[in-house]
Amino acid sequence: MLGLTAQGKLVMLVRLLVNLTVACWLAAAPIPAFAADEYPELVSEEWLNVSFAGHKIGFMYAKVEKGAQGYRFTGRAVMRMKLMEQLQDMSFTSEARLDANLIMKDFVYLQSIRDQRQRVAGVMEGDMLKLTVTGAGGESVKRYRLDEKTRFADAALFEFSRSMAPGKKLSVPVFIPSLRAMETMTIEVAGRKTLEVSGAKVEAWVVEYAMQGIKSVAYLAPDGRTLREESPMGLVTEAVSREEALKLEAADVPVTSIITFSLITPNRPVERQEALATLSLALKGLNDPRAFPVDERQSAGEAQRVNDGKRGRVFSIPVTLRKVGPPAKPLSIAEAGKAEPEALEASPEIQSDHRMIRKLAGEVTAGAKDSWEAARAINRWTHRTLKKEFVDSFTALDALLEKRGECQSHTNLFAALARAAGIPTRTAAGLVYTSSSVGFLYLAWPEVYVGRWVAMDPTFGQDVADVTHIKLVEGGLESQLGLLRYIGRIGIEITEMR
């Protein structure tokens, strides 16, 4: 289970971080969506290697072109990792058109894992962005209102890099297509540094950019080309030739590197975790304790400023986690659905309205007397049916067709079946303790409303999730950007176990 937990979240984080890098440094390779002759002037073109923990895991290609009506950004990122004999092939391809002021007009974004694909297309209609997501199960449409200051994430850094100066700063709202999320990006020129590139000395601008408080450092040539970028999570991109970038074999990333990347070791081990009723701990290293979610299951005390010895003064908050099961008399499915109707809605990743999902939900919950019995039946079916393998998937339907997957696959499929059965369900992501690693690793799990919200874990087969499940974010794909507040930053000190 250690490999499943650590590696599954690594791929999710690699997808997240690569998506951010792609968004920030233009990602790509042309999609035949827009006429090529509209943009005759080549502004820039880049090839970059991508590595994790010293292993090359992929490459990126980026191109910016200019025409009479504005700009076109095209890009591609390809990742290939072999972990525990499981090959993960991932690609991210994008094309966007912007006007002469770098305001987004439309874009197409494609991402694939093995034979799974998802397409995100956006078009501006006045101040509204119409977003169409197409994948397994069909098509979903959603609209976002964007103010006039919002930039396509690619364009913010491009615009900034065209006129750099010592101390220059920018804070701008951006839209990230791959995560369907709005976020504020801060960019700052931190200084100059001499780098050696292809045997030659190059004077580079040092540019720091951040989202959710996580900073990456990029080294840019005087003409704005990316020479190197360093992420605090261990991802590095470096400028190379086209020929060098395209040399790509499956990187056999050591499990020890993955554990080091994601493991949080507490001050003492957790004993008999499934039998515990409460767990008290101090969560250290937070920049903003107000972002930590609280509910009936987890509560937080007053935050205190502490010195972590690395980043200076940060916050530490006391957290108490309780094992919360269903009420003595759970609601009927109909009553539960009426209480939390928004938690029954389908999404591009959780296709609870798909006929295959709806039919299966009826079969799995047949005979259930109330919402809790139905939720338990779905939890046990999901745990029993999906093989615990390092295989990522985009959606619930992908997981169902694959019949295998990691925690996100289990969570999406559970949520789709539960919502299809009429049980309000939301998804969470955070940390869970694993005795095999004697530490906390990142995991996703569902919560169901059965008279109160109850956390369940289909990956580990727990009808009521144990008290070591620390929820850090709640919601769909766009919420996972919030994990950047915590990754590589926090520590855990256990104070009491009962």
Residues 195 and 280 in one domain: no
Q: Are 437 and 360 in contact (CB under 8 A)?
A: no
In the chain, the number of structural domains is: 2
Residues 136 and 271 in one domain: no
CB-count exposure of residue 32 (10 Å: 0-12, 13-18, 19+): exposed
Residues 251 and 292 in one domain: no
Give the residue from 209, 237, 255 where a domain finishes: 255
Residues 202 and 283 in one domain: no
Residues 295 and 248 in one domain: no
**Domain that includes residue 459, residue range:** 263-498
Residues 248 and 297 in one domain: no
Q: Tell me how crowded residue 341 is: count the other CB atoms within 10 A of its CB.
A: 10
The residue ranges of DSSP E strands in 200-345, in sequence order, are 200-211, 214-220, 226-230, 235-239, 251-252, 278-286, 298-300, 304-307, 313-322
Residues 405 and 486 in one domain: yes
Question: Phi and psi (nearest 5°) for 2?
Answer: -60, -50
Give the residue from 255, 290, 315 where a domain finishes: 255
Give every CB contact of residue 444 below 8 A, 6+ residues apart in sequence: 12, 407, 408, 410, 411, 427, 428, 429
CA end-to-end span of the chain: 25
DSSP 8-state secondary structure symbol assigned to residue 104: E
Give the residue from 255, 284, 299 where a domain finishes: 255
Give every CB contact of residue 297 below 8 A, 6+ residues apart in sequence: 321, 322, 324, 453, 455, 471
Residues 71 and 212 in one domain: yes
The residues with which 229 forms a beta bridge, in sequence order, are 218, 237
Residues 245 and 299 in one domain: no
Residues 452 and 332 in one domain: yes
Q: Are 455 and 469 in contact (CB under 8 A)?
A: yes
Q: pLDDT tens string for the chain (498 positions)?
A: 333 343 444 445 555 554 444 444 333 333 444 555 689 999 999 999 988 878 888 899 989 999 998 999 988 888 887 766 677 788 888 899 999 988 889 999 888 887 788 899 999 999 899 999 988 878 888 898 888 888 877 778 888 888 889 999 989 888 887 778 888 889 999 999 998 877 888 899 999 988 876 788 999 988 888 899 988 667 889 999 999 999 988 777 665 666 666 789 999 999 999 999 999 999 998 878 888 999 999 999 999 987 766 656 788 999 999 999 999 998 999 999 999 999 999 998 999 999 999 999 999 999 999 999 999 999 999 999 999 877 777 899 999 998 988 888 999 999 999 999 999 999 999 999 988 889 998 889 999 999 999 999 999 999 999 999 999 999 887 787 778 778 778 899 999 999
The CATH number of the domain where 388 resides is what?
A: 3.10.620.30
Residues 251 and 267 in one domain: no
Residues 297 and 418 in one domain: yes
Please tell me the pTM assigned to this model: 0.84
Residue 436 in tokens: 């095999």
